[in-house]
Amino acid sequence: MSVINRRWVLASRPNGQPALENFRLEEQELPDPGAHEILIHARYFSVDPGMRSRLSSDSYAAALKEGELIEGAMVGVVQASNNEKFAAGDLVTGGFGWQEYALSNGRGVAKLNASLFQPPLTVTTAIGILGIPGLTSYFGLLDLGKPQEGNTVLISSAAGPVGATAGQIAKLKGCRAVGIAGSQAKCDYVVKELGFDACINYKEVDDLQAAIAEHCPDKVDIYFDNVGGEMLDAAILNMNEKGRLIISGAVSEYNKSEPRGIRNTLHFITHRLRMEGLVVYDYFKRFPEAQAEMAGWISTGRLKFTEDISEGIEGAPAAFIGLFEGENHGRRLIKVS
């Protein structure tokens, strides 16, 4: 039996910060699964700040065309299957975007072991702390940052899903973790609940460079950046010699027609700094080992996570726009009604 699928597509390219009119909710009739196909009914999907750049231009992947489905990670249940690798009722995940149903030939679909998702692990962790955000933190910090015991690790957007995980992994590796966040409530969260050593509320300081120096008296060995722009420049001026800068995101630049970019490049010469960006999909073959280690940390209470879940597919664009206004507290997901 065919189903009516609701999905969000790109209606027009944003000019600056995205607006509701840049998105359109469409209905389409999906046929029964064909040969080797499966029909997936979504339970949750993600809204991701990193998608912003692709609404306007090419980024880590090609720009979305007007009328194309907005991308995101999905957790769902196989409703019907003509694929020998999947059965109806299987819990699966994949990059199927902002929609209620998806047809797939099985490529890029991962079958989840439902028995693993017992408290404190929820099924949503498959697209949260055990998905792209958490894996970005894991590989970015450990592979690129190479933390050593006693290092000072500075993390921007520290209360977000990537920053919060990176800071906790830094602590697990014996480092001093200092966060930067946009409210006192977020700073209290990362220090009191996640175990960061300190946190700077950047909205309440006149001189961020000086504030970083105050909270990092031994300077910064690793900077895990999710923001870019002026915050990145302030961090650069506080780096130790041979410091490592990990570029995970640049949320302050996504909505600018002319990004600010980096100004303090001389410090790279004088302090022998190394800066490297990452696309976490480069580590795809190593995802299972990272997920297993992080799941162990979660089950023993050494790694915590917070999820910000909205009800109903209708609210997806507003939830996405709110990411750029600092609304979210943790991984922002949509629960499909």
The secondary structure of residue 279, as a DSSP letter, is: -
pLDDT at position 135 is 97
What residue spans of the chain are helical by DSSP H?
A: 132-139, 161-172, 184-188, 208-215, 229-236, 266-270, 287-299, 316-323
- Tens of pLDDT, residues 34-73: 999 999 999 999 998 888 888 988 777 788 999 999 999 9
pLDDT at position 209 is 98
Q: Which residue type, as a one-letter code, is found at position 96? A: F
First to last CA, the chain: 20
The mean pLDDT value for 303-332 works out to 91
pTM for the whole thing? 0.88
pLDDT(233) > 90: yes
**Separation CA 119–CA 134 (nearest Å):** 18
- Tens of pLDDT, residues 255-279: 777 878 888 899 999 999 999 999 9
pLDDT(1) > 70: no
**Residue range 3-128+305-335 in CATH 3.90.180.10:** yes
pLDDT at position 16 is 87
Strands, sheet with 198-201, edge to edge from the N-terminal-most edge strand: 198-201, 176-181, 152-155, 220-225, 239-247, 274-277
Percent of the chain with pLDDT over 70: 99
Inter-residue contact 122 to 134 (CB < 8 Å)? no
The mean pLDDT value for 87-102 works out to 96
pLDDT(121) > 70: yes
- pLDDT band for position 170 (50/70/90)? very high
**Separation CA 265–CA 243 (nearest Å):** 13
Question: Do 3-128+305-335 and 132-280 show the same overall fold?
Answer: no
**Separation CA 122–CA 92 (nearest Å):** 14
Single out the residue of 111, 156, 117, 109 nearest to residue 137, CA to CA: 156
Which CATH number, 3.10.580.10, 3.90.1580.10, 3.20.20.70, 3.40.50.720, labels domain 132-280? 3.40.50.720
Q: Domain locations in the chain?
A: 3-128+305-335, 132-280
Provide the token pair at 27.
């209905």
Q: Nearest 5°: CA angle at 285, between 282 and 286?
A: 90
Inter-residue contact 259 to 57 (CB < 8 Å)? no
pLDDT at position 237 is 97
Inter-residue contact 190 to 181 (CB < 8 Å)? yes
Q: Quick check: helix, strand or coil at residue 244?
A: strand
- pLDDT band for position 180 (50/70/90)? very high
Element (H, E) at 85: none
Compute the chain's Rg from CA coordinates: 20
- Which of the two residues, 122 and 328, has the higher pLDDT score? 122
pLDDT at position 117 is 84
275 phi, psi to nearest 5 deg: -120, 135
Inter-residue contact 169 to 137 (CB < 8 Å)? yes
Helix axes 208-215, 229-236, angle to 10 degrees: 50
